[in-house]
Amino acid sequence: MNENLGLGESDAEARWIGVRRHQAVLVILGVGLASDWVMSPRAPLLVIVAGLALAMGAVPCYDGLTVGEGCVVALRYLLRSHWHDLNVRELGDDVVLWAIGEVALRGYELTHRGRLDLSGRDVTIAEGLAALADASSAARTGQHFSQHVVTKGADTLTMLTLPLDVPAPDGWTVNNALALEVVGVGNDATSLRVLERFTYLRTKGQLARIYRVRDFSAVPPSRGLLEHLLRSSTTLDLALHVDVVAGAKAHRLAARAVHRVGSDAATSRAAGFRRTARSSRNFERLSQREALVASGRSLLRLAVFVIVRGESLDEVHQRSAIVWRHAHDAGLRLERGWGLQLRWYFAQLPGGPGW
């Protein structure tokens, strides 16, 4: 991140003149079928029904998903098995975790030295992680690392997970026992069985609900992005995953994003639409990002997961309501992840086996 680079909406989803590609395809197909039914005197009723269904599939419903995407998510949830296992084993200083795929990692605990915001050491830690990301961007395949803030009783622990060949910055010490606790198996177990429900998960002795932060752009510039959420009055865990894009691919993605937004703006102006302040700001942000990537800075894919745990479903509901309210007050937009709880659970684990 850079102080000159303003935050905006995620550009992970490709858009064409403000809409996503599948929305444009569904609307075009729906209008085409409806027009064919109107123009053809003997067209069956099924044609207009299919046309209306396709057009309805492009309507946004929740969490940025359209009606069509929501139906696909619900159908996949109904068809797949709801019991899943993950296995973990410790090999010396290394931890091997198998969920969807297998990842090998090393866990590091942050050595706390009093209040970080008073000592200024939080800035040093952030600079060390930024330097780690910039160095990782030179690799051909990129790197993936994650930072976890775990609440354990009255204490709060911070863990960093890195690939085996990546050295940790200063201030972090190896602690694979903490990595096993974050996974949820403990020191004596090697596997964990997870039961997936549509809006939550059931693990060993507790329930969990996973949220994902969708948008940071409304957070005031004078406040930390996750500061208000961390000060929530309820217990929660945070998982920040950083996927460092390899250098050559980062240059292509940054240039392609600028070209796409510029082309959309040119098409809109040609069609008689005025370029809005929002689109101009987005183009400026992407141009700044392209310049930073060209100067050697890393391009990152970020994902922030909020894990709410409880002993009962009522407790999870109560804590989730508090977290949702605190996130809204902080300017964060959360996604509920209905039907995607297992996928997000694997994605937030140390090492990101679900990525």
Bridge partners (DSSP) of residue 97 are 88, 103
4 — pLDDT class (breaks 50, 70, 90) = low
Residues 194, 53 share a domain: no
Q: How far is Cα 164 from Cα 24, in angstroms, rounded to an integer?
A: 44
In a domain, 282, yes or no: no
Instruction: Quote the pLDDT of residue 1.
Output: 42
Q: How far is Cα 269 from Cα 264, in angstroms, rounded to an integer?
A: 9
DSSP string of 236-249? -EEEEEEEEPPHHH
Residues 169, 49 share a domain: no
Q: How far is Cα 110 from Cα 129, in angstroms, rounded to an integer?
A: 12
Q: Is the pLDDT at 288 greater than 70, yes or no?
A: yes
Six token digits for residue 45: 């009723």
Residues 307, 177 share a domain: yes
Residues 117, 218 share a domain: yes
Residues 125, 90 share a domain: yes
H/E stretch holding 183: helix 176-183
- The structural domain count of the chain equals 2
Specify the DSSP class assigned to residue 190.
S
In a domain, 270, yes or no: no
Q: How far is Cα 3 from Cα 217, in angstroms, rounded to an integer?
A: 14
Residues 28, 166 share a domain: no
In a domain, 292, yes or no: no
Residues 112, 51 share a domain: no
Residues 36, 153 share a domain: no
In a domain, 42, yes or no: yes
344 — pLDDT class (breaks 50, 70, 90) = very high
337 — pLDDT class (breaks 50, 70, 90) = very high
The amino acid that residue 66 corresponds to is T
In a domain, 353, yes or no: no
In a domain, 287, yes or no: no
Minimum mean pLDDT range among 29-43, 118-132, 268-282 = 268-282
Instruction: Quote the pLDDT of residue 2.
Output: 45
Instruction: Quote the pLDDT of residue 211.
Output: 95
Residues of the chain with pLDDT > 90, as a percent, come to 23
Q: Is 209 exposed, middle or buried (0-12, 13-18, 19+ CB in 10 A)?
A: buried
pLDDT tens column, 235-276: 889 999 998 888 788 888 888 877 777 776 666 676 666 666
Residues of the chain with pLDDT > 70, as a percent, come to 86
Residues 21, 93 share a domain: no
Mean pLDDT of 66-76: 92
pLDDT tens column, 85-104: 888 888 877 888 888 888 88
Six token digits for residue 304: 């922030």
Residues 87, 48 share a domain: no
Look at residue 209 and give its three-state secondary structure: strand
Q: Which domain covers residue 50, as residue numbers?
A: 1-58
In a domain, 271, yes or no: no
More confident call, 77 vs 154:
77
